[in-house]
Structure 1
């Protein structure tokens, strides 16, 4: 650690960095074990989606609430409780003997993980206030968070190869114990005497809206998208979201102050925040299935192949900072999103090669990761920097909520496209099978564990078709979001040019 920090400062930063490392690993390492979970726990495709979505939806549920709770009752106290809860729920995940238990445990782990994330941000902001030590602390925190997200796939693959899938979760037990001791000995207690009341109305309306929308997309193929049950679930989602908008409008202390969306840089950056989680991050859940089932790689090889997708996100942020200073975020953020889209289209071509392998996927993976690296830091800096300092915490909360909500929804959407593309190919390749049998085969293939009776060529081509649909959705979707972000940033300039042409 740099000498700019005191000994106690190093202890505090170590606690926060270890906490953020655990949080990042639980997002990026778990996708590499999904094919293993399918085999070991006999999980179907939709259950595998819920293994990821339970975590992200739970994180979204507590993001805004925990900040208020920590301000009122003590940031150190809530941080310690959150770390202990994360360690305990991680142990429950690792000890789960069926997929239903794992999904419930993942939801509980997400609740504690979201609390850990918000508390570590609050602790760092309070503990490091001076220019030099603040820069050093946040710099190290960003590096460690990036390591957790970037190296998660290879860490997860390595753990599975050396031991078993359970240790992807169990390892957080001792890590949480160390983080707890560091936080207990180093962090000073702090409160905000002017902290407002908890926005319960906002919490209890937003969470069901996201959950029901994801449930509708995920379970729609089985229920029938136009069935009474499915439409009722969709109606609850819409009604809950409308209730959320009303609750935030009339609340004296809303967790979402929608007036900040009148600030064009903030709006443009939030679109960019959602766009990254429409394309790059949800695809990370499914890309291991392509490397494992589509290309036949083992866990370690899959993790190594995924480094091409994740490492550029660690390398590009310094360049993004310099570009933002020169060209402004209103140009850099949409440009970074456009680069992600180029990467997805190149990955689609790479997967459609005569003999696809990691080399045919490499250009697209690198370019998509570079686009994410260009976009991510300017988005974060713009969302907090475009509002007054007293609203920075709320702005950061909206940013993280936009990321988690869009991630949860698009995990479901990409899963729908993947299974739909696989099913479309099987319908052509196996015309004699009935619809229920085809769907059963399609779900198995999409999950990375096809039925033994299917020919390898049929499985491979079905996966290639399904992933082609997903990559096309990711590429076109992020390009559309890039255009919306650009307009949000530059609407006044565009309007002025239209009214006063040369």
Structure 2
């Protein structure tokens, strides 16, 4: 009896360790890659659009596959799907690490996103099965949440250290030994669990949602190079709209939809989804452009750039811990709304840069933005899960994670379109009345596409300084523009969630009578 009891405890701790490692890996890959982008650009001769896809491809695949992965786990076993996800993620990391051109890298990032979806979709279910006692489960979830927050906090710093010490490929290759060991531990130490009455797998929903997100991202990113009225871009927008409409229709008529309509029976679910989207399309999506600014404009090495992003990530980490406690005493709507407003203020504080500024011009904005993300993150998830009956908590959590990764993909693409347009205008304005005026349009396109070095090489030496100054100034103007645009989105989100996240919609006790960490006040 004692041995068997000890074995159960051991499996519980192994489950917690393996799930935490998996979550750490997939969340780390959201932020760690940003620091390596300038080195990837140089090594693979990549354009700015290619670099945007390095981030967006992972996020699109993650958001498209997440809910389907949860359905597969309910039917075929959470441990089995988690193990497959770990294997796919590890293999994809190897493919990323050995990629020789941007297309291969981005296809491997899609595969990584699919593996990450399987890991994320099964993590909480595995913990719930391993810790049936509510008190122990709260401890396990606290550990998992702390590890997840640490992944976000150390991403830029770890990426900078790896790039400088071993090269950009090792931000992916480092996953190999960790993934292999975690896979072995999963198969040997983690207990299997399944849903008692699993529903069907919504393959039509998966295909239409994935097509809609992929086509939308393609249209927004390709518009930078092809033009908004070009045939490929217009066609992609049409495909995205048709696929999204088909997805909505499919979800309404299927017996077992991956996104049940009942989930939106309470308007708070919609408010929580909008809150997550507003946060991820702004604060998270902008990490790509802040990293490029630190490295390409200010000239910091990867590790130094990572250190200069620590105020943001540490602010998120600390604020999240405080906000989780505030969520038990203050209404969720005001915490989420206040957090989004803080994000907007922080982005405006960062959005008044000049060419002569140092990185410290970003410091106050990073701290306020991090405070906002920390306020939003735990409370918007708690609101999403508190607005549904206990049997739907897993689907609500999946919807929240889907909105987060989808927001990053759409944010990177849409902000990139604004950025590229502003950069082109900035270069043309800076070169007006100079010997390079006739080439201003072509040079502006090169800067917007991230091909400054190639354009510089084709200019006479005496004109390179003029072009470099114009490119640097245009980049700063473009960054200021998207920081301002993102701030507007955050403020609109702050206003929208107030009437949508309603205290009376929130379930304040779980099925076992334990209080949920949500304040039900209005």
TM-score (norm 1): 0.93
- Cα 1:126–1:448 change in 2 (3 A) is farther
| Cα distance in 1 for residues equivalent to 2:465 and 2:389 | 60
8 Å CA contact 1:35, 1:448 repeated in 2:
no
Structure 1 residue corresponding to 2:289, chosen from 286, 289, 304: 286
Could you tell me whether the CA contact under 8 Å between 1:65 and 1:199 is conserved in 2?
A: yes
Who is 1:500 aligned against? none
Residue 256 of structure 1: how far off its partner (Å): 1.0
Per the alignment, residue 359 of structure 2 pairs with 358
Take 1:263 and 1:94, find their aligned partners in 2: how far apart are those partners? 45
Deviations 1:336-394 (A, max 9, x none): 00000000000012x23x73112211000110011000110001111111110111111
Partner of 1:415: 416
Specify the SS of the correspondent of 1:144: helix
Query: How far apart, CA to CA, are the structure 1 residues paired with 2:441 and 2:427?
Result: 10
Residue 443 (1) aligns with residue 444 (2)? no
C-alpha distance in structure 2 between counterparts of 1:191 and 1:271, whole Å = 31
SS of the counterpart of 1:189?
Answer: coil
Q: How does 1:382-397 map to 2 (within 5 A)?
A: 382-397=383-398
Q: What's the offset of the Cα at 1:228?
A: 3.3
Distance 2:327 2:84 in 1: 38
Q: Which residue of 2 aligns with 1:476?
A: 488
CA distance in 2, matches of 1:492, 1:122: 27
- The whole-number CA distance in structure 2 between the counterparts of 1:79 and 1:449 is 44
Aligned to 1:34: 37
2:180 alignment counterpart: 177
CA contact (8 A) 1:32 1:156 kept: yes
1:169 Cα deviation from its structure 2 partner: 0.2
User: Do the aligned partners of 2:332 and 2:503 also contact (CA within 8 Å) in 1?
Assistant: no
Is 1:466–2:478 an aligned residue pair? Answer: yes
Q: Mapping of 1:157-168 within 5 angstroms? A: 157-168=160-171
User: Aligned partners of 1:161 and 1:266: how far apart in 2?
Assistant: 44
- Superposed CA deviations along residues 272-323 of structure 1, whole A, max 9, x for unmatched, are 1111111011011221101111212111110000111111111012321233
Query: 1:374, 1:12 → 2: CA distance?
Result: 29
8 Å Cα contact 2:56-2:412 kept in structure 1: yes
Aligned to 1:207: 210
Question: Is the contact between residue 205 and residue 240 of structure 1 (CA under 8 Å) also seen in structure 2?
Answer: yes
Q: Which moved more, 1:86-95 or 1:118-127?
A: 118-127
Alignment partners' CA distance in 2, 1:454 and 1:129: 66
SS in structure 2 of the partner of residue 209 of structure 1: helix
TM-score by length of 2: 0.90
What is the alpha-carbon distance in structure 1 between the residues aligned to residue 416 and residue 14 of structure 2?
Answer: 42
Alpha-carbon distance between aligned partners in 2 of 1:312 and 1:112, rounded to the nearest angstrom: 29
Q: Secondary structure at the match of 1:196?
A: coil
**Structure 1 runs (4+) greater than 3 angstroms displaced:** 447-452, 490-493
Distance 2:33 2:335 in 1: 31
Which ranges of structure 1 fall in alignment gaps of 5 or more residues?
A: 494-502
State how many pairs are aligned. 487
Q: Distance in 2 between matches of 1:162 and 1:448?
A: 24
Q: Distance in 2 between matches of 1:237 and 1:97?
A: 30
1:486 to 493, 498, 507: 498
Q: By how many angstroms is 1:461 displaced? A: 1.2
- Are residues 1:402 and 2:403 paired? yes
Q: Deviations over 1:157-199 (max 9, x none)?
A: 0001111111100000000011112212221111224101101
Which range is displaced more, 162-171 or 323-332? 323-332
Distance 1:407 1:448, change over 3 A: farther
Matches within 5 A, 1:195-344: 195-344=198-347
1:400 deviation in Å? 1.3
**Alignment check: 8 A CA contact 1:344 1:368 kept:** yes
Q: Give the corresponding residue for 2:512.
A: none
Q: Distance in 1 between matches of 2:42 and 2:138?
A: 46
Q: Quote the Cα distance in structure 2 between the aligned partners of 1:159 and 1:346.
A: 30
**Structure 2 counterpart SS, 1:181:** helix
User: Paired residue for 1:499?
Assistant: none
> Which residue is 1:457 aligned to?
469
Q: Alpha-carbon deviations, 1:128-174, whole Å to 9, x = none?
A: 12122111111111111111111100000000111111110000000
- Equivalent residue for 1:368? 369
Question: Which residue of 133, 144, 149 corresponds with 2:152?
Answer: 149
| 3-state SS of paired residue (2:229) | coil
In the TM superposition, what is the alpha-carbon distance from 1:53 to its structure 2 partner? 1.1
User: What do residues 463-487 of structure 1 show as CA deviations (whole Å, max 9, x unaligned)?
Assistant: 1101001100111111011111112
> C-alpha deviations, 1:89-128, integer Å up to 9, x for none?
1011101111111111111111111111112222112111
Offset, 1:325: 2.5
Is 1:194 equivalent to 2:206 in the alignment? no
The answer to whether the Cα contact below 8 Å between 2:332 and 2:379 also exists between their aligned partners in 1 is: yes
Do the aligned partners of 1:268 and 1:488 also contact (CA within 8 Å) in 2? yes
